[in-house]
Chain A
């Protein structure tokens, strides 16, 4: 029935939606930021621990759709251990691919994030997939304001 939409809702997405990884408050976070998607009301609180330019830990709390929850969950797994610059590079690549700006069909560089590449066919859902990433970018810039995807 939902065959065509399986490129958006892959099993990995369902898995991360059901059991989001690093879904917890981080007491010793060095940065904390609230992200908000005014279009759908998705909210995320992102906790980041940066030590010597390296992301040691990322976690999140909040409520959102399957795409935004899975994207946040995958992101927390992927960026751990990376430097801030590497993370920024990954964000830029991810953003270009989900917005369709980069139309490649080989997503090896994205690793696990590749499961979200299908979002590009659903422009209305791009903001769901990028909310956590925009929040992370802002956190790394130490921008204390609430991040909005609008």
Chain B
């Protein structure tokens, strides 16, 4: 195969990849849970704290100005990364979960009434289910769930049928964390917009693996987390179309989100600060900016192309194991291999692979309804990043074969 990027050079950018686990070289295949950090991000965090750190948007002193410039510079980088029209549309949050909660509590609570409907799909992560359930309890709105087929794809006819005049918001995962499915989000957005319904995309899994252009998608909200994108944890982004964000009431109150406060009334700050109450995760935001720079230098197209090769290689090898079943076989799929082994529980697979230095996730992946649909209590999941190699896939496959042998 032609490899679109220099993986061995890339691996040297990630200090943690030289770790040994139980005396063996680390094979990190839990990237859908969180990715490792390149030196560029680690150095940035250190540099910020050693040279540029102070609170942002407050002081007249030099360090505060420096920190503010870097923080706002990161926002600008992220705007470019997802091709938003304006920096006002980039809201820093803690992560995808907080972004969904923000939209549910601000947009949802101010717009939805009893009997209105929110449409999601059967492959959502708990973070794109529970905030809407809370909203439904508060407003009397109803949560509708578009079903999926046995490959793990949305059944589009059913989705269309569920999109009615009662639907006030659609919130769909761009790429499934449990199944790897990449959803036809452009089509979903077209269908929803034809009925005047705004669409939120949970981009936590999609954004590390492909080019995301929010203008091209025409989504109304897009949420993602920094830590799945080689950036720090505790920082994430909510993109929203300016007109929508402007009309939305603040969610959390506090410092930074106000223009003027008296005990009688408060004037709120402009976007994006209206939604950024309190001191933000300053160094983490700047670190996320560094991660974006790093990924853009490699090129998201190259990353996507290479990961597709890895996934194809891993899937072919995995299917050669007779007692292995792949969970999630959508035609459009990102680099996630969910599987079960006949008679061997994923938790046992996880512990045993760990003994071989291989990190995978075992469990329900915060998607219990997906597990129920496939009739399994849990799956084992190997999720790949651009720093993984075909040799690591071989180690994984070899490990799985050994486990089968030990279990007999």
Q: Which A residues lie at the B interface, using CB under 8 A?
A: 1-2, 4-5, 8-9, 14, 18, 39-43, 63-67, 69, 122, 124-125, 128
Contact = CB atoms under 8 A, between A and B. Distances in A.
A40 B402 contact: no
B352 interface: yes
B406 A9 contact: yes
A149 B309 CA distance: 40
> Which size bracket describes the interface of B in this complex?
20 to 34
A1 B351 contact: no
Interface stretch (B156-164, B203-211, B255-263, B341-349): B341-349
B331 interface: no
B348 A65 contact: yes
Contacts of A9: 348, 352, 406
17 contacts: A1-B402, A5-B352, A14-B407, A14-B408, A18-B408, A39-B363, A40-B362, A41-B377, A63-B345, A64-B377, A65-B345, A65-B348, A66-B345, A69-B345, A122-B351, A124-B351, A128-B347
Given A2-B352, A2-B355, A5-B352, A40 B406 contact: no
- Across the A-B interface, the 10 shortest Cβ-Cβ residue pairs: A65-B345, A41-B377, A65-B347, A41-B378, A5-B355, A66-B348, A41-B364, A65-B348, A40-B347, A40-B363
Contacts of B345: 40, 63-66, 69
A150 to B, nearest CB: 13
Which residue among B22, B344, B377, B402 has the maximum number of chain A CB atoms within 10 Å of its CB? B377
Given A9-B406, A14-B407, A40 B351 contact: no
Which residue among B22, B355, B408 has the maximum number of chain A CB atoms within 10 Å of its CB? B355
A63 B355 CA distance: 24
B351 A5 contact: yes
Given A2-B352, A65-B345, A42 B377 contact: yes
Interface in B255-287: none
Given A5-B355, A9-B352, A41-B377, 19 more contacts: A1-B402, A5-B351, A40-B345, A40-B346, A40-B347, A40-B362, A40-B363, A40-B364, A40-B377, A40-B378, A41-B364, A41-B368, A41-B371, A42-B347, A43-B377, A66-B345, A66-B348, A66-B407, A128-B347
A72 to B, nearest CB: 13
Contacts of B402: 1-2
Contacts of B362: 40
A125 B352 CA distance: 12
Interface in B321-349: 344-348
B92 to A, nearest CB: 30
A125 B349 CA distance: 12
Contacts of A8: 351
A128 B377 CA distance: 14
Contacts of B368: 41
B331 to A, nearest CB: 28
Contacts of B363: 39-41
A80 B214 CA distance: 63
Which residue among A63, A65, A69 has the maximum number of chain B CB atoms within 10 Å of its CB? A65
Contacts of A42: 347, 377
A14 B345 CA distance: 12
Interface in B357-386: 362-364, 368, 371, 377-378
Nearest to A13: B348
A136 B355 CA distance: 31
A1 B355 CA distance: 9
Nearest to B363: A40
Contacts of A125: 347, 351
Nearest to B398: A1
A29 to B, nearest CB: 23
Nearest to A41: B377
B203 to A, nearest CB: 26
